[in-house]
Amino acid sequence: MQPGMRTPVARKFAKILVVAALTACSTADGPPTLTVWHAWGGAELTTLKALVRRFQDQRKDVKVLALQIPHDKLLDKYIRSSAANGGPDILIGDNDWSGSLAESELLASVFDFAPGATGSLFPPSAAEAFPPGVMHALRVGEKVYAWPESVETVVVYHNRNLLAEVPSTVPALLDAAAKLRVPDGYGLVFNTSFYFFAGYFLGGGGTVFGPDNRLALDTPGGRRMLGWLGAITRAPGVLATNDYGKADSLYKQGKAAMIVNGPWALADYKTALGPALGVAPLPRLADGAAPAPWIGVKCLMVNANASAAQRKLARAFLAYMAEPAQQLALAEGAGHIPARSGVELPADSPLRVFQAQVRTGTPKSADPRLKLVWAPLDRAIQEVTVHGKDVGASLDRAQRTVDAQLAAVEANR
């Protein structure tokens, strides 16, 4: 190595050090930063940016840094970084994350309903701003580790060019689907995965956890509803599939008159169908029973590693996001259904249909046990709908599998 070559390298290195030192100094001198990790894109991101700007207009003493991370990497990245005492101050995600993250001690408690408990971000009285069902979905024992932002559930989207009104009962809907003549398509595309089927499974008498909070998949009501699903998948004019992408594409291409889907699809469907897009509640079962689809909750969660000062800032941001003005902005801009009670949406907003559907829904619990249920139930559904297997045997197998897995997880503690 030539002696002369060392000088430029050393100079460059010195420059980097100086720049790094200056950057560090500028951060230390500026307002404290509240870091938010999220996976929002498109209209959601635009709305979030606008709300962050508005927050900063109100609070000049804090800088909010919202970082977008791909949805499929967000949870893993959060777990890895917060387990290493790092991570953001706030994580925006689904309520069923909160149970597992709390189990790993990676979240700060938002509410503690135990008598006389202290140390949570908000007093229990602050929970009264939200419907009891929403709080129920977030509860992990006596505590809640997530602050609700919006709720999600499924409804029926229809193509008005093919079907003007969605019938109010399932038999009438199936009849309409059979009679519709959709070129190279279907009257109804129905996603058979348990998330979408749950509305009828739970509304028609099936259960996941019984009244004693024990696993109760294989019940007479559950068997009846799984058999019912098996029957409707063979109904004329119906495409039953567990392929979300396929069902979604068919509806967007005008090859399906109806589809059951959630509010996340609303913007895409508006673009694809324009004024032909219609939204209706899930039709009732033949016996008049109302469907009880899952109510998911999008939440803001606070990192357990956040210092007391950062928690105070996070608390202010959480409270701000639940104010009626922000809830309305999220509804209008991002298509989010307000989690807060009493937020009145415009009369012509399709989100009102979702709001109405939420009233009959089932809160999707943050209970970490729930995540073990999906795969065995999806398998049972596949066995019955695709392979024509016996309903009782399939549900019994699902019950035994989840029971064994719960026991294994419990023994692992």
Partner 1 sequence: MAAQYTTGPLGPLPGAEKRSPTEALAYRFILPAALVMGVITVYPLLYGIWMAFTNFGPQHIRHQNPRFVGLQNFVDIVTQAQYLDFSFMRILGFNLLWTVINVAFHVALGVGLAMLLNLDGMRGKRVYRALLILPWAVPTYVTSLTWRNMFDYDYGAVNLLLKGWGVVGPDWFKSFWTAFGAVLTTNIWLGFPFMMMVAAAGLIAIPRDYYEAAALDGAGRWGRFVNVTLPGLRPTMIPAIILGFVWTFNQFNVLYFVSRGDPLGQTEILITQAYKLVDPMGLYGVASAFALIIFFILLGFTVVQLRVLKAVGEGAR
Should residue 181 be labelled a site residue for partner 1 when binding is judged by CB under 8 A?
A: no
Residue 128 makes contact with partner 1 by CB under 8 A: no
State which residue, 351 or 381, has the beta carbon closest to partner 1. 381
CA-nearest of 66, 137, 47, 59 to 325 is 47
Stretch that binds partner 1, among 24-32, 104-112, 126-134, 294-302 (CB under 8 A): 104-112
Phi/psi of residue 11, nearest 5 degrees = -65, -45
Euclidean distance between CA atoms 107 and 211, whole angstroms: 28
Alpha carbon distance 173, 110 (integer Å): 43
- For 255, the 3-state DSSP assignment is coil
CB of 189 to partner 1, least distance (A): 10
Q: Is the Cβ of residue 209 or residue 320 nearer to partner 1 in the bound state? A: 209
26-28-34-38 Cα dihedral, nearest 10 degrees:
50
With contacts defined by CB under 8 A, name the span among 259-267, 288-296, 308-316, 366-374 that binds partner 1: 366-374
Q: What is the footprint of partner 1 within residues 370-389 (CB under 8 A)? A: 371-372, 374-376, 379, 382-383, 386-387
Residues between 3 and 62 that touch partner 1 (CB under 8 A): none
Does 400 help bind partner 1 (rule: CB under 8 A)?
yes
87 binds partner 1 (CB under 8 A): no
Phi, psi of 284 (to 5 degrees): -75, 160
Kindly compute the dihedral angle of the four CA atoms of residues 366, 368, 372, 373, in this order, to the nearest 10 degrees: -30
Among 353, 368, 384, 399, binds partner 1 (CB under 8 A): 368
Helices 42-58 and 324-334 pack at an angle, to 10 degrees, of: 150
SS3 300: strand
Interaction residues for partner 1, span 224-283 (CB under 8 A):
239, 243, 245-246
Order of strands, sheet of 139-140, starting from the edge strand that comes earlier in the sequence: 111-112, 143-144, 139-140
Residue 83 within binding range of partner 1, rule CB under 8 A = yes
Interface residue with partner 1, options 100, 153, 159, 326 (CB under 8 A): 100
Report yes or no: 61 and 332 within 8 Å, Cβ to Cβ: no
Q: How far is the CB of 297 from partner 1 (least distance, A)?
A: 19
**Any contact of residue 63 with partner 1 (CB under 8 A)?**
no
Q: Give the nearest distance from C-beta 92 to partner 1 in angstroms.
A: 20
C-beta closer to partner 1: residue 316 or 375? 375
* Backbone phi, psi, residue 143, to 5°: -115, 160
Q: With binding defined as CB under 8 A, does residue 104 bind partner 1?
A: yes
User: Is residue 191 at the binding interface for partner 1, with CB under 8 A as the rule?
Assistant: no
CB of 404 to partner 1, least distance (A): 4
**Minimum Å distance from CB 371 to partner 1?**
4
CA distances from 132 to 8, 83, 152 (A): 66, 32, 15
Neighbours of 206 (CB within 10 A): 26
| Number of amino acids touching partner 1 (CB under 8 A) | 33
The distance of closest approach from Cβ of residue 86 to partner 1 in the complex, given in angstroms and rounded to an integer, is 12
The residues that bridge with 93 in the sheet, in sequence order, are 299
Beta bridge partners of 35: 65
Which of 27, 67, 105, 271 touches partner 1 by CB under 8 A? 105
Residues forming the site for partner 1 (CB under 8 A): 79, 83, 100, 103-106, 239, 243, 245-246, 304, 368, 371-372, 374-376, 379, 382-383, 386-387, 400-401, 404-405, 407-409, 411-413
